[in-house]
Amino acid sequence: MLLVAGALVGWLYDQALLGAFLAALACLGWQLFNLFRLDAWLRTGRLEALPDGSGVWPPVFARIEYMREKARRRRSRWRQLLRELRVSAGAFPDGGVLLNARFEIVNYNTAAERLLSLRKLRDRGQRIDNLLRHPDFVAFISAGDFSRSIELPAPAGGDTWISCFMIPYGLEQRLLLVRDITGIVRLERTRRDFVANASHELRTPLTVIAGYLDALADDPGAPGVWQAPLAEMRSQSVRMTHLLDDLLELSRLESAAPCGLDQVVDIGAMLQRARIEALALPEHPRVVEATIGSTAGLFGNQVELHSVVSNLVSNAVRYTPSEGSISISWNVDATGGHLAVADTGIGIADEDIPRVTERFFRTDRGRLRQAAGTGLGLAIVKHCLRRHDGELEIHSSPGNGSTFICHFPPHRVALT
């Protein structure tokens, strides 16, 4: 229309083309002017003085204003949500540290700041294992196996203990959950000390009683009717001594540091000896065989590894009828060393398998068959294995026998 109007005005002066050209120029100038204003508003972000414009411009300006207003409202909603999240994360009693794929700290809450002694300005962007330098934590991060939690003293020192659990989320991001477990650790320490002290204190009077019982049993002048009760009392005092020895052994294993790597134990020879010892036990199964698939040894403690083998083998003997069989084996592969004791005995019910390594846990069948056990053998095995970085795997089914496999990691295997 502007062009036509320009051409008409030009035509009145016999210059229709010039008129149209000047009108086109004015139109272009107007659009450029509005574009320039739009650019200025977008750059400064100040839209309060929204220009009126004309032609196509007012709806464009209005649309932009509407979109910016919507974005502003959305931003303030997010900000509010973030504030609420921060406040609720701050009220959380457990510490949470957000880590990126390189284990660098992205954010953390107040509890994490307190438990890990983090400083806002200094520690954001730092690798978590540069700040938490406990060897167990460094090994936990470098191993990358986050299926279990670890316990360690808090970096602030004192008597505070923390447990750390890593939860992967998003794209290679992780949430490190930190919990104050000082109370649990103290309780556990008190329990351990109590058991160790009580066992130690009970040992002396028991030795005296056992001594008098031996003397009475050997006394030719003792009345004949005393013999049966004396024999029962002696067997019970022997059982109590075993119980106290096992409790003391467990307390020692629980508080001792992991076994070093300076001694090599010949597992093949140990299993051959265990086979001979099993055949010397009363009511042993007819077949006891040992298969030594590797000459490799294990880095660890001879006495503790012997305790593992003898507990597993004596259980196999006690819970297998004499017509059954026992096989003991030692194999090494790329995943480490594997020591197995398998029997064709009474077996263990599925629901009892996770509990057999608990102290004093005895299955109903086990209780019926053997009153003499202390119920501590497998707990001792578990602790000895833990001190050798090993794990116990149990396969069993009632009536079909049981297999106990001790897995040791490759760094414990001493290849010859």
**If binding is defined by CB under 6 A, does position 366 make contact with ligand ADP?**
yes
Closest approach of ligand ADP to the CB of residue 281, in Å? 13
Q: How far is the CB of 277 from ligand ADP (least distance, A)?
A: 16
The nearer residue to ligand ADP, 68 or 359, going by C-beta atoms, is 359
10 contacts ligand ADP (rule: CB under 6 A): no
Q: Least distance (Å) from ligand ADP to the CB of residue 237?
A: 17
Work out whether 313 is an interface residue with ligand ADP (CB under 6 A): no
Sign of the CA dihedral 141, 146, 150, 153?
positive
Kindly calculate the radius of gyration of the chain based on its CA atoms and give it in whole angstroms. Answer: 40
Q: Locate tokens 């919507």: which residue?
A: 70
Query: CB neighbours (10 Å) of residue 253?
Result: 17
Cβ-based nearer residue to ligand ADP, 19 or 345? 345
Looking at 171-264, list the stretches that DSSP marks H as alpha helix, in order from N- to C-terminal side: 182-218, 227-255
CA distance 216 to 219: 5
Query: Please, which of residues 396-415 interact with ligand ADP by CB under 6 A?
Result: 402
Distance CA 99, CA 106 (A): 5
Q: Which residue is nearest to ligand ADP (CB)?
A: 366
For residue 142, the minimal CB distance to ligand ADP (Å) is: 34
Query: By C-alpha distance, which of 122, 92, 124, 126 is closest to 109?
Result: 92
Considering only residues 164, 298, 316, 405, which one is a binding residue for ligand ADP as defined by CB under 6 A? 316
The least CB distance from residue 319 to ligand ADP, in Å, is 3
Cβ closest to ligand ADP, residue 298 vs residue 316: 316
Closest CA to 365 of 381, 350, 347, 351: 347
Residue with Cβ nearer ligand ADP (299 or 319): 319
% helix, strand, coil for the chain, step of 5: 55, 20, 30
In the list 275, 362, 388, 412, the residue contacting ligand ADP (rule: CB under 6 A) is 362
Which of residues 251 and 363 has its CB atom nearest to ligand ADP in the complex?
363
Nearer to ligand ADP among residue 243 and residue 414 (C-beta): 243
Q: Which is nearer to ligand ADP, 329 or 402 (CB)?
A: 402
Q: Looking at beta carbons only, is 149 or 325 nearer to ligand ADP? A: 325
Stretch that binds ligand ADP, among 119-127, 197-205, 249-257, 311-319 (CB under 6 A): 311-319
284 touches ligand ADP by CB under 6 A = no
Name the residue among 358, 401, 390, 379 with its Cα closest to residue 267.
390
Q: Which is nearer to ligand ADP, 116 or 312 (CB)?
A: 312
Q: Should residue 315 be labelled a site residue for ligand ADP when binding is judged by CB under 6 A?
A: yes
User: Which CA distances in Å does 27 have to 11, 14, 40, 53, 159?
Assistant: 19, 22, 20, 13, 81
- Residue count, binding to ligand ADP (CB under 6 A): 22
Cα–Cα distance for residue pair 292/384, rounded to 1 Å: 21
For ligand ADP, the closer of residues 305 and 378 by Cβ is 378
For residue 118, the number of C-alpha atoms closer than 13 Å in the C-beta half-sphere is 28
Structure tokens given for 345: 């005995």
For residues 339-353, one letter each, b for 16 or more C-beta atoms within 10 angstroms of the residue's C-beta and e for the rest, the string is: bbbbbbbbbbeeebb
Q: Contact with ligand ADP (CB under 6 A): which of 7, 377, 382, 413?
A: 377
Candidates 177-185, 218-226, 282-290, 368-376 — which segment interacts with ligand ADP by CB under 6 A? 368-376
Give, as ranges, the residues between 332 and 351 that touch ligand ADP (CB under 6 A). 343, 345-348
Q: Pick the closest to residue 165 from 173, 154, 153, 177 (CA basis).
A: 177
Q: Which residues of the shown chain bind ligand ADP in the complex (CB under 6 A)?
A: 311, 315-316, 319, 343, 345-348, 356, 361-363, 366, 373-379, 402
